[in-house]
Structures are given as structure tokens and as C-alpha cells.
Amino acid sequence: MPIFTKKDALKAHLQHYRDSGKAIGFVPTMGALHQGHLALVKQSVAQNGATVVSIFVNPTQFNNPDDLLKYPRTLDADVQKIATVHPDVVVFAPEVDEMYDGNTQSKHYDFDGLETKMEGAHRPGHFDGVGTIVKKLFDIVQPTNAYFGEKDFQQLQIVKKLVEKESLGINIVGCPISREESGLAMSSRNERLTEKERKDAAIIYRILQEAREHFKTESIAEVREHALEAFETHPEFKPEYFEIAEESTLETATLKENRKYRAFIAVFLGNVRLIDNISLN
């Protein structure tokens, strides 16, 4: 399985695919891969002549240094998991200096306000870090299609905006959230939950499903109130936000109009921060 740590070597390798007219699919990750990531890799393999998976824990998108420190780094296991999808998938696993050339700073981005809401409001600088690294990775890989999970729905919208604003000509493919049997959205952070917490965390999706039901008959304010009330009976969960927003702009919704809405949640369970979302209509 081809594994690269240097961008120039990767670029030269990918040129062969480009020269032979193959579409290149790209799945950017921070490693600690789970079935959700592998679903993205499978989709890319099915839709492209070549697939690249990057594994890079990007320091500039962590606003909490402890989170960066604790982020699982499992390169060998990740490579083995990718090989089970297809042995020809190309892995790019650079060091920090290779990506940042000794200047580990993010660029400041204006994503037309998408960056200031929800995750952006609670994780200052996060989307500057995401924009910076995704742009750098896109410049290296120059993919035809790039695959992002809908669990990070705000990130998905921001990457689409980045591609639009910088005219990158890359097709961004949003992929459905992969869930554990209990309904818990798959996330590398789930590894940090105790067995009991991981079981209890299924409540998050149940509350989102209830919100979808309530949305059929209740006002937006009522749906929100009911969701937050539901968490009150589970005091081990500390919700950071519960938002109902219009899908493309992520503007907080107040009145129901003929538009697509999603409910978004960020919640702490112990010291692990979990996010999830659901389409409401």
C-alpha cells in the first residue's frame, strides 16, 4: 500500500493517475479511523480511479491544547484498516513541519458567516484551522472529488464555501452520518468515553429523533425547549448548544419557512465533547 509522508513525492505519484485520466478521490482525516471514515473511503474507491486518504492531526484547528494532546494517534492500525477497503488506496501521513513549513499558523477566513455559528462560536479559530489545512491538502492532492461526513455538517458547508470562494473546482461530497448500533454518531472521541458513558451517549441521538418528531407539530422554540428539558433528566450531560438552523446558511431558525432545517447539538459527557445533528424535514 503506497504511504507518503512528503508532499512532493505524493504529488509526483498522483501525476501518474492524472496523466492516465483517472479521477482522484480524497478523504481527509485526522486518523483514529472508525467505520464512519471507512464508509467515506469505500465511497471514494467506488467513484474514482484512485483514492487518497490523509492522516494528519492538524494542530491549528484545536482551540483546546489538552484536546490536541489527547487526540488518539494510531497510524499503523489506521493503515491496516484502510487496506481492508482496498490495497491500492494511497495514504498521506505528513509531519506538522511538512504541512506548515515551520510556521504553524492558520490563515484567517471569511466563510460568509458560516464560521461564526455553533462550533465557530464555541471553538474560536477552529474553522480558520480547518480552512487552512483543507486548502493546503487540496493544493497537494488536487482531487476531483473530496468526501466529508455529515456529522461535522458545519465543516462540510464551510468546505463547500471554501471551494466556491477560491474557485477550486473540486466536487465536495457530503456523506451520511455512520452510527453505532445504539444510534451514537461514530467519532474518534467515542474512544475516550467509559463503557457506561458510551452506552448512555445513545440518548443524544434519541433526543435528536424526538426533536424531528416534535418539529412536525411544534414551533421551533418549543422543539428547542423540549430537547433541552430532556437533557435536564440526564444531568451527566452538559449541553453546550442545541440549535435549529437552515441547512445552507446555518442561520438560526425562528419561524418555519419553506426551507431545509437541521437540529445541531454539542454536549459534554464528562470531559468529552460530542456533536451530532439531524435533518428535520
Q: Tell me the catalytic residues.
A: 37
> Cβ distance 78 to 27 under 8 Å?
no
Residues 217-276 close enough to bind ligand PAF by CB under 6 A: none
Shortest Cβ 230–ligand PAF spacing (Å): 28
The contacts of residue 14 (CB under 8 Å, 6+ apart) are 24, 50, 52, 90, 141, 142
Q: Is 179 or 256 the residue whose CB approaches ligand PAF more closely?
A: 179
Q: Which of 39, 90, 114, 134 binds ligand PAF (CB under 6 A)?
A: 134
Residue whose cell numbers read 491500492:
88
> Which residues contribute to the annotated binding site for ATP?
30-37, 149-152, 186-189
Q: Between 30 and 50, whose beta carbon lies closer to ligand PAF?
A: 30
Nearer to ligand PAF, 130 or 163 (CB): 130
User: In the window 136-195, what residues touch ligand PAF (CB under 6 A)?
Assistant: 152, 155
Burial of 217 (C-beta count, 10 Å sphere; 0-12/13-18/19+): exposed
Q: Does 48 sit near ligand PAF (CB under 6 A)?
A: no
In the shown chain, the binding pattern of residues 53 to 72 toward ligand PAF, with x for contact by CB under 6 A and - for none, equals -----x--x-----------
- The 3-state secondary structure of 178-240 reads CECCCCCECCHHHHHCCHHHHHHCHHHHHHHHHHHHHHCCCCHHHHHHHHHHHHHCCCCEEEE
Angle between helices 126-141 and 7-19 (to 10 degrees): 50
Cβ at position 37, least distance to ligand PAF in Å: 8
Is residue 28 a contact point for ligand PAF (CB under 6 A)?
Answer: yes
Query: Binding site residues, as ranges?
Result: 30-37, 61, 149-152, 155, 186-189
β 237-246/90-92 pair status: unpaired
User: How buried is residue 11: exposed, middle or buried, by Cβ count under 10 Å (0-12/13-18/19+)?
Assistant: middle
CB of 281 to ligand PAF, least distance (A): 26
Rounded to a whole number of angstroms, the minimum distance from the CB of residue 58 to ligand PAF is: 4
State the residues that interact with ligand PAF by CB under 6 A. Answer: 28-30, 58, 61, 130, 133-134, 152, 155
